[in-house]
Structure 1
Amino acid sequence: MALDYRWLQDTVRNRFESEDAMEAFLPRALTPDELKQLGDDRYLSAMSRRVFRAGMQHSVVDARWPAFEDAFWGFVPEKMVLLTPEQIEGFMTNDRLIRHRTKLQTIPRNAQFILDIRQERGSSFGEFIADWPSTDIIGLWRLLAKRGARLGGRSAAGFLRLVGKDTFLLTSDVVARLVAAGIIDQAPTSQRDQQRVQDAFNALQQASGRPLCHLSAMLALTINPRV
């Protein structure tokens, strides 16, 4: 089965007053050059924010994030990798933070992950993210889940969306459209089903020239017209 881009475009366009309104609504991905310009501290900060967002209202985490930036010295990986268990325990007494010990412990672990990638590639983590092809974004999800701390499930895609890397999101609305189109039978947890989803997005991208984040939002709008 396949999704028809012309049908998708026409269906979503009908949700808006104008073409410009539709385009303004769709999310924006950063260019590879913009991703490369982000410091690795910004990637660690976004990873950590995504970890804390899991299971919590995003607005609650975001409101506390300036305090996290201050407490963790701007999330510089070279500093964060040196955090000791005693320092982590010290953060548990800081009422400006969200005091979740297991999530706090991911900060030095993900700092090490970033430093490992830098050493392996001889370049910044931002270059690693920027150079990964959108045609295999699920491969990047898997790598983040395997080597990062608490970056499995939806967290890998959520982290990528936070930093501006082009990715689709498997929200309930997107999954519902993919099921209705016969691409998958249920939420894609197996590698086989995830590859079917990637193939469907690749076909839509080839037909449209749009980034994955546009296509993801458009598919969601065919189920839940929020405008």
Structure 2
Amino acid sequence: MALDYGWLHDTVRRRFDSDAAMEAFLPRALAPDELKGLGDDRYLSAMSRRVFRAGMQHSVVDARWTAFEAAFWGFVPETLVLLTPEQIEGFMQDERLIRHRTKLQTIPRNAQFILDIRQEQGGSFGAFIADWPGTDIVGLWRLLARRGARLGGRSAAGFLRLVGKDTFLLTSDVVARLVAAGIVDRSPSSQRDLQRVQETFNELHQASGRPLCQLSAMLSLSINPRF
């Protein structure tokens, strides 16, 4: 089955008082040049913030992130790839931080991931993210899960959303609409189901010209008007 964009637009539009109100509500992704303009330190910071957000209230993590930025010297990958186990233990004593050893250990590992991509691609990590096609965003999720530290599940999409890369999110409301439309019969986890979801978003994008993040929000709003 397929989702009809005209139906989706009209359903969501009824949630708002005007076209302008709907457009103002929908999220925006960064343009490729903007993603390329972000330093690789910003990508490592966002990866780390997403790792710490997993299983915690986002507001708790965000409230401490200024302290994380100071403690980890601005998240420069070339610096943090050199963190030693002794330094990690030192961070475990820092009351400004969220003292979760396993998550702290992901910081040098993800710094190495970023440096590896830079060496392989011959450019910045931001350029690698910017150039990845939206028609295969689930492929980028897979790569992040496979090569990054604790970036599986929803964390890959959450990280991409943090940095501004256009991506959809598989929230419970988005999944509910996909199930209702017959695209999948449960929260997608298999590669087959994820490919079906990707194809659905590709079709909606072709019909509307809208970025994936807006289509994702619209699918959610079609189920839950309080999204």
TM range (shorter): over 0.9
- Alignment partner, residue 155 of structure 1: 155
Question: How far did 1:46 drift?
Answer: 0.1
Q: Percent identity?
A: 85
Distance 1:63 1:25 in 2: 24
- Alignment partner, residue 174 of structure 1: 174
- Unmatched 5+ stretches in structure 1: none
- Alignment partner, residue 59 of structure 2: 59
How many pairs does the alignment contain?
227
Distance 2:215 2:8 in 1: 9
Pairs within 5 Å for 1:42-191: 42-191=42-191
For residue 114 of structure 1, give the secondary structure of its aligned residue in structure 2: helix
Question: How far did 1:7 drift?
Answer: 0.3
Check if 1:207 corresponds to 2:218. no
Distance 2:18 2:61 in 1: 34
Distance 2:193 2:204 in 1: 17
Indicate the RMSD between aligned Cα atoms, in angstroms. Answer: 0.5
- Normalising by structure 2, we get a TM-score of 1.00
For residue 157 of structure 1, give the secondary structure of its aligned residue in structure 2: helix
For residue 83 of structure 1, give the secondary structure of its aligned residue in structure 2: coil
Distance 2:11 2:162 in 1: 27
For residue 187 of structure 1, give the secondary structure of its aligned residue in structure 2: coil
Question: How far did 1:93 drift?
Answer: 0.4
Distance 1:51 1:20 in 2: 35
Distance 1:35 1:71 in 2: 25
- Unmatched 5+ stretches in structure 2: none
Distance 2:28 2:199 in 1: 21
Distance 2:46 2:82 in 1: 19
Per-residue CA deviations over 1:76-119 (Å, capped at 9, x if unaligned) read: 00000000000000000000000000000000000000000000
Distance 1:28 1:83 in 2: 35
Distance 1:36 1:222 in 2: 33
Distance 1:178 1:47 in 2: 28
Q: What amino acid is aligned across from residue 196 of structure 2 in structure 1?
A: R
Check if 1:24 corresponds to 2:8. no
Distance 1:41 1:107 in 2: 11
Pairs within 5 Å for 1:8-19: 8-19=8-19
- Normalising by structure 1, we get a TM-score of 1.00
Q: What amino acid is aligned across from residue 211 of structure 1 in structure 2?
A: P
Distance 2:58 2:19 in 1: 30
Per-residue CA deviations over 1:133-164 (Å, capped at 9, x if unaligned) read: 00000000000000000000000000000000
Distance 2:47 2:150 in 1: 9
For residue 64 of structure 2, give the secondary structure of its aligned residue in structure 1: helix
Distance 1:18 1:56 in 2: 36
Question: How far did 1:171 drift?
Answer: 0.1
Q: What amino acid is aligned across from residue 193 of structure 1 in structure 2?
A: D
Large movers: runs of 4+ above 4 Å: none
